[in-house]
Structure 1
């Protein structure tokens, strides 16, 4: 979700139904070939979490830690929250990873401040959380905005990352498809995100103000240059779904081609929401990337 979403997300915040939001979305009756048109709910929360609120950069950042072993942090997409990783967490724990999930500032259970949003700021939040948890270096799996945050850290603080898996991310605004928010699947996600915000946030009545802050960032960012991508030394996979609604396929190819040694993963028959639509396949490719020699 980026600047093109501004009209749709603000409409949700004001309770106005746009044509895109009224469009139907495929349900469980959809044929397997149409799974990319569905929006399954996140899986139930895994057991065994140690949770807390970390004081970082003037906010309280929600986190949960599962298991023991090699640390990996999972970063969700814009408007969502860490519950979207519930299917991947137990798979990683079973492979001897210490899994850290977090809600980005203003998202989910985390608070926000008046400070303008930027990917640099959100990257700083993540690194401050890792410092708080005494994790000097970690793998990072990011979806959408989470993937962009991962790219920002890989560019500016590569010593903090072992590997980066970025799904559904873009490096600049030219990578976005026009009017992608009119997709029924995206419209349904935006509507769900508003409901989740009211349920989880400590300021459930401030959704409009939150959207305004985030939208200001999306109107100009990210803006990574080709030289910055070429300078990435972290082992990286650039991934997306075959039916991605928001990111141009050529842009995904460009990022994978420009980042030295990057792998390109295009998951079949899923979209921007592949982690929900086919979690078994999504989890498999993430685990393969994180564990391959």
Structure 2
């Protein structure tokens, strides 16, 4: 697996997936907090079949990337995504991000519009502040009964095999490929700030995807569309926060319709 070295010493693990023929567009896929690039595996075949060159990667402090990078600020996450787009020749790219990855994609589209052709946010938006968020995430991670004795046990607890595949096998069982404190620290700025000004500066075609049973408040989606009326909004039935894991076929169809109508 290739790694992209960054100036601060962080190394980003990534995979570059090429379609059967000449690419019609490029896409960078950004996973959420405590996630990994493999979460997008079910979405790869339809994207590649439609001619999209797709790059997936493990964010800093996640997966096969540097586990304890010097910083996990919002700026560092955004700079990482921008560097991938530039160094791998993806610009202008479609950014598809879920949860924290969607927030990173949103900030990149706002700060570096020349790098972004389109933006897809899955259960992600600019609302805040959320002062209780770090404690909630910390408590959630503390509740993981690690080490898991098997991937089946991990899947039963975490709710999806995609989450279980993000674990690594150690002598005592299966454990996360991230450190709890880095995950909580990654949310510090989100807990303290809202990002509505950044949202209003975005100019590229944008699709907002909510899960019918997700955690994103419908009012946030309404406010986002009020500020940027051309934003496409869709709700995926029978899906929670992890739309890309729970309903990948419906998400793929939604993306295809967005590409046809907006790009």
Per the normalisation by structure 1, the TM-score is 0.71
Give the corresponding residue for 1:264.
233
Give the corresponding residue for 1:4.
none
Give the corresponding residue for 1:53.
3
CA distance in 1, matches of 2:162, 2:254: 27
CA distance in 1, matches of 2:162, 2:249: 23
- Equivalences for residues 149-160 of structure 1 within 5 A: 149-160=104-115
CA distance in 1, matches of 2:189, 2:123: 18
Q: Cα deviation per residue 1:102-123 (whole Å; 9 max; x = unaligned)?
A: 1111211111444221222111
Q: CA deviation at 1:164?
A: 0.4
Does the residue aligned with 2:124 lie in a helix, a strand or coil? coil
Check whether the contact 2:99–2:123 (CA below 8 A) recurs between aligned residues: yes
Instruction: Pick closer, same or farther for the CA change 1:292–1:177 going to 2, 3 Å.
Output: farther
Does the residue aligned with 1:198 lie in a helix, a strand or coil? strand
Aligned counterpart for 1:243 among listed residues 179, 189, 213 = 213
In structure 1, runs of 5+ residues without a counterpart are 1-50
Aligned counterpart for 1:284 among listed residues 250, 253, 262 = 253
Check whether the contact 1:238–1:256 (CA below 8 A) recurs between aligned residues: no
Aligned residues: 238
The reply on whether 1:231 has 2:201 as its aligned counterpart is yes
In structure 2, runs of 5+ residues without a counterpart are 141-154
Aligned counterpart for 1:80 among listed residues 11, 15, 35 = 35
The reply on whether 1:147 has 2:102 as its aligned counterpart is yes
Q: Cα deviation per residue 1:141-199 (whole Å; 9 max; x = unaligned)?
A: 111111101111011111110000001113133579986987xx997259985873434
The reply on whether 1:219 has 2:174 as its aligned counterpart is no
The reply on whether 1:67 has 2:14 as its aligned counterpart is no
CA distance in 1, matches of 2:130, 2:235: 16
Instruction: Pick closer, same or farther for the CA change 1:287–1:195 going to 2, 3 Å.
Output: closer
- Equivalences for residues 154-173 of structure 1 within 5 A: 154-173=109-128
Q: CA deviation at 1:277?
A: 1.6
Which segment drifts farther, 113-122 or 227-236? Answer: 113-122
Q: Cα deviation per residue 1:50-107 (whole Å; 9 max; x = unaligned)?
A: x411112421111111124111111111111111111111101111111111111121
Give the corresponding residue for 1:5.
none
Instruction: Pick closer, same or farther for the CA change 1:248–1:176 going to 2, 3 Å.
Output: farther
Give the corresponding residue for 1:99.
54
Instruction: Pick closer, same or farther for the CA change 1:81–1:260 going to 2, 3 Å.
Output: same
Give the corresponding residue for 1:125.
80
Check whether the contact 2:129–2:190 (CA below 8 A) recurs between aligned residues: no
Q: Runs of 4+ in structure 1 displaced over 4 angstroms?
A: 174-182, 189-195, 204-208
Give the corresponding residue for 1:138.
93
CA distance in 2, matches of 1:136, 1:171: 24
